[in-house]
Structure 1
Amino acid sequence: MKLAVVGGGSTYTPELIDGFARLRDVLPIAELVLIDPAAERLELIGGLARRIFAAQGHPGRITWTHDLDAGLDGADAVLLQLRVGGQAARNQDETWPLTCGCIGQETTGAGGLAKALRTVPIVLDIAERVRRRCPDAWIVDFTNPVGIVTRALLTHGHKAVGLCNVAIGFQRKFARLLGVAPERVELEHIGLNHLTWERAVRVDGVDVLPKLLAEHGDAVADDVRMPRALLDRLGVVPSYYLRYYYQHDAVVSELRTKPSRAAEVAALERQLLDLYADPALAEKPELLSRRGGAFYSEAAVALTSSLLGGGGQGGVRGGVRSDVQGDAEGHAQDRVPRDGRDGAVGGAVGGARGDVQIVNTFNNGTLPFLPDDAVIEVPAAVGPRGASPLPLRPLAPLFAGLIGNVAAYEDLALEAALKGGRDRVFSALLAHPLIGQIDYAERLTDELIAHNREHLTWA
Structure 2
Amino acid sequence: MTRDALKIATIGGGSSYTPELIEGYIKRKDELPIKEIWLVDIEAGKEKLEIVGAMAKRMVKAAGLDWEVHLTLDRREALKDADFVSTQFRVGLLDARIKDERIPLSHGVLGQETNGAGGMFKAFRTIPVILSIIEDMKELCPNAWLVNFTNPAGMVTEAAIKHGGWKKTVGLCNVPIGHRKQAAEKLGIPEEDLFFKFAGINHFHWHRVWDKEGNERTQELIDLIYGPQNEQESHLKNIWDAPFHYEQLKDLGMLPCGYHRYYYIEDEMLKHSVEEFEKGETRAQVVKETEARLFELYKDPQLDYKPKELEERGGTHYSDAACEMIASIYNDKRTDMVVSTENNGTITDLPYDCVVEVSGPVTSHGHEPYNWGAFPPAARGIIQVMKGMEETVIRAAIDGDYGAALHAFTINPLVPGGTMAKTLLDELLIAHKDHLPNFSKAIAKIETEQPETRAYVTELMKSN
* TM-score tier after normalising by the smaller chain length: 0.7 to 0.9
2:125 alignment counterpart: 118
Choose the corresponding residue for 1:2, options 7, 27, 31: 7
Q: Does 1:377 align with 2:376?
A: no
2:152 alignment counterpart: 145
Aligned length: 417
Find the aligned partners of 1:357 and 1:147 in 2 and give their Cα distance. 15
Q: Alpha-carbon deviation of 1:200?
A: 2.4
1:221 alignment counterpart: 232
Find the aligned partners of 1:184 and 1:311 in 2 and give their Cα distance. 21
1:301 alignment counterpart: 323
2:197 alignment counterpart: 188
2:344 alignment counterpart: 364
The residue type paired with residue 325 of structure 2 is L
1:342 alignment counterpart: none
The residue type paired with residue 191 of structure 2 is P
1:336 alignment counterpart: none
Write out aligned runs for 1:178-257 (5 A): 178-203=187-212, 205-217=214-226, 221-223=232-234, 225-227=242-244, 229=246, 230-257=248-275
Find the aligned partners of 1:228 and 1:428 in 2 and give their Cα distance. 28
Q: Cα RMSD between the aligned structures?
A: 1.9
Q: Does 1:157 align with 2:165?
A: yes
Q: Alpha-carbon deviation of 1:199?
A: 2.4
Q: Does 1:35 align with 2:30?
A: no
CA contact (8 A) 1:171 1:186 kept: no
CA contact (8 A) 2:197 2:370 kept: no
Find the aligned partners of 2:211 and 2:415 in 1 and give their Cα distance. 36
Write out aligned runs for 1:97-108 (5 A): 97-108=104-115
1:344 alignment counterpart: none
Choose the corresponding residue for 1:170, options 179, 195, 203: 179
Find the aligned partners of 2:225 and 2:260 in 1 and give their Cα distance. 20
When the two structures are superposed, what TM-score results if normalisation uses the length of structure 2?
0.85
Choose the corresponding residue for 1:439, options 419, 422, 427: 419
Cα distance change on mapping 1:203 and 1:53 into 2, 3 Å: farther
Cα distance change on mapping 1:128 and 1:260 into 2, 3 Å: same
Q: Alpha-carbon deviation of 1:384?
A: 3.1
Q: Does 1:284 align with 2:284?
A: no
Choose the corresponding residue for 1:388, options 336, 355, 368: 368
2:99 alignment counterpart: 92
SS of 2:232's equivalent in the other structure is helix
Query: Structure 2 unaligned runs (5+)?
Result: 1-5, 235-240, 441-464
Q: Alpha-carbon deviation of 1:57?
A: 3.2
Q: Alpha-carbon deviation of 1:268?
A: 0.7
SS of 2:119's equivalent in the other structure is helix
Find the aligned partners of 1:101 and 1:216 in 2 and give their Cα distance. 30
Q: Alpha-carbon deviation of 1:439?
A: 2.0
Find the aligned partners of 2:27 and 2:221 in 1 and give their Cα distance. 30
TM-superposition CA deviations, 1:220-261 (whole Å, max 9, x none): 732154336244443332111111111112211111111111
SS of 1:389's equivalent in the other structure is coil
Choose the corresponding residue for 1:74, options 64, 70, 81: 81
SS of 2:406's equivalent in the other structure is helix
The residue type paired with residue 41 of structure 1 is K
1:311 alignment counterpart: 332
1:402 alignment counterpart: 382
Cα distance change on mapping 1:202 and 1:299 into 2, 3 Å: farther
SS of 2:368's equivalent in the other structure is strand
Choose the corresponding residue for 1:266, options 288, 298, 301: 288
Cα distance change on mapping 1:48 and 1:124 into 2, 3 Å: same
CA contact (8 A) 2:349 2:375 kept: no
TM-superposition CA deviations, 1:359-387 (whole Å, max 9, x none): 00111122222211211000134323333
1:50 alignment counterpart: 57
Q: Alpha-carbon deviation of 1:115?
A: 0.6
Query: Identity percentage over the alignment?
Result: 38
TM-superposition CA deviations, 1:201-224 (whole Å, max 9, x none): 545643223333334546673215
Q: Alpha-carbon deviation of 1:69?
A: 0.7
The residue type paired with residue 395 of structure 2 is E
Displaced runs of 4 or more, over 6 A: none
Q: Alpha-carbon deviation of 1:42?
A: 1.1
SS of 2:360's equivalent in the other structure is strand
Q: Alpha-carbon deviation of 1:30?
A: 2.1
CA contact (8 A) 1:78 1:139 kept: yes
Cα distance change on mapping 1:68 and 1:441 into 2, 3 Å: same
CA contact (8 A) 2:110 2:116 kept: yes
The farther-off stretch of 197-206 and 446-455 is 197-206
Q: Alpha-carbon deviation of 1:307?
A: 2.7
CA contact (8 A) 1:202 1:209 kept: no
Cα distance change on mapping 1:216 and 1:386 into 2, 3 Å: closer
CA contact (8 A) 1:221 1:228 kept: no
Query: Structure 1 unaligned runs (5+)?
Result: 313-349
The residue type paired with residue 246 of structure 1 is Y
The residue type paired with residue 27 of structure 1 is L
CA contact (8 A) 2:343 2:351 kept: yes
TM-superposition CA deviations, 1:132-185 (whole Å, max 9, x none): 111100001101111111111001211211111111121122223333333223
Find the aligned partners of 1:184 and 1:54 in 2 and give their Cα distance. 36
Cα distance change on mapping 1:205 and 1:16 into 2, 3 Å: farther
TM-superposition CA deviations, 1:10-54 (whole Å, max 9, x none): 011111111111122233322211111222211111111122222
The residue type paired with residue 263 of structure 2 is Y
Q: Alpha-carbon deviation of 1:65?
A: 1.0
When the two structures are superposed, what TM-score results if normalisation uses the length of structure 1?
0.86
Find the aligned partners of 1:125 and 1:96 in 2 and give their Cα distance. 28
2:237 alignment counterpart: none
